[in-house]
Amino acid sequence: MSHDQNFKNLILDHPHQALAFFAAAEADAVGTAHITPMRQEQLQERLGERFRELDVPLLVEWPDGRREALAFVLEEESDTRRFSIHRLARYCLDLAELMETDRVVPVVIFLRRARNAPQRLRLSGDQDTYLDFHYLSCALGDLSYEQHCDSNNLVARLNLPNMQYPAQRKVEVYAQAVRGLTELEPDPEKQLKYLDFIDIYAALDDNERAEYQRNYPDEAKTMSRFAERFHEKGLQQGMQQGIQQGMQQGIQQGMQQGIQQGMQQGIQQGVQQGIHQGMHQGEALVLERLLRLKFGTLPDAVQRRIEQASEQTLLEWSERVLTASRLDEVLH
């Protein structure tokens, strides 16, 4: 998944906290206003090739009608060299025209330090300035970890690994991000989802993961609970998919045989095959998840071994994860 999509998901799942963190200068007035993402189908139809799917336009509306609706345009840039202030200005003008409003707040989230990114666009002649455009900038790589490590804003806590901190404190930063996730996100589904977010941007190596488990046993246990939930979820999803596929195959087989007995046998065989396939898929999915949580990114060769392994082998490998200190100890 791209950085753009990671941040788009984060903003759409937590719009109030995203605005409070990424656009603090304007977010104070939002309060309890209703925030909705703008319909991308409408934007694409009206803006044509100028529409950018991974930008996140949010519409802020006050139910009592005290203020006119306000549109926030949030754009994530992982590489400042890709950023174009001219493109952003055109997009904001197009959006303002489409919505018939002049209340548009452009926000740019820079994943790294915002070096050499233009902050202002002025169109002028000898006598006057005719367009003066700038935007709110949140350069995560310029933010201090210490200023946000105890924040009660979930979006800020998840982004701790993207901030500035001494290299020797990397494991501490990771632990503080995980602690924020468990304390501030009550939804188990989103806990699993954003544990991946933290893992991606922290990118701990094997030694750092071992240090984390040694120095932060409580958080490590929390991660194990996440893995157990994922294990149950993976098995359920795998079995459901397998059963559905098996039933469809069985129905087709039975219809081809043209008799009721053949159809029933086909369905039964398909369901049995589907359950077996589903359990195998679920076990493989769970094992990959456990290995990534403990050892980081998996080599392609390891993923192929998991895909080709028998169900019994997958179960044996899963049992070794909790006690193994190296990846090869699991798969020997």
Average of per-residue pLDDT values in the chain: 81
The 8-class DSSP code of residue 152 comes to S
- Which of 205-212's residues contact partners 24+ apart within 8 Å by CB, and which partners? 205/296, 206/295, 206/296, 206/326, 206/327, 208/170, 208/171, 208/174, 209/294, 209/295, 209/296, 210/325, 211/171, 212/171, 212/174, 212/175
Cα 222 to its chain centre, rounded Å, is 19
* Lowest pLDDT segment from 16-25, 77-86, 265-274, 317-326: 265-274
- In whole angstroms, what is the distance from residue 50 CA to residue 322 CA? 50
How many Cβ atoms sit within 10 Å of the Cβ of residue 93? 14
For 59, the enclosing helix (H) or strand (E) is strand 56-61
pLDDT band (50, 70, 90) for residue 144: very high
* Lowest pLDDT segment from 3-7, 80-84, 211-215, 232-236: 232-236
pLDDT in tens, 103-122: 899 999 998 887 888 999 99
Tokens 């049995």, located at residue = 272
Provide the residue type at 162 as one letter.
N
Give me the pLDDT at residue 120, please: 95
> Judging by DSSP bridges, how do beta strands 129-134 and 34-37 pair with one another?
unpaired
- In whole angstroms, what is the distance from residue 27 CA to residue 114 CA? 22
Quick one: tokens of 309? 């392994």
Beta bridge partners of 34: 61
Task: Please provide the DSSP assignment of 243-286 as one string.
Answer: HHHHHHHHHHHHHHHTSHHHHHHHHHHHHHHHHHHHHHHHHHHH
Provide the residue type at 163 as one letter.
M
Report the range out of 77-86, 154-163, 254-263 with the highest average pLDDT.
Answer: 154-163
Asked if 164 and 145 touch (Cβ cutoff 8 Å), the reply is yes
pLDDT in tens, 275-304: 566 667 777 777 777 777 777 777 777 878
For 104, the enclosing helix (H) or strand (E) is strand 104-110
pTM for the whole structure = 0.67
How many Cβ atoms sit within 10 Å of the Cβ of residue 265? 15
Closest C-alpha among 154, 158, 232 to residue 195 = 158
Helices assigned H by DSSP within the chain: 3-13, 15-22, 24-27, 40-47, 85-99, 145-148, 154-158, 170-184, 188-202, 206-215, 217-257, 260-295, 300-308, 311-321, 327-331
Report the range out of 28-32, 148-152, 280-284 with the highest average pLDDT.
Answer: 148-152
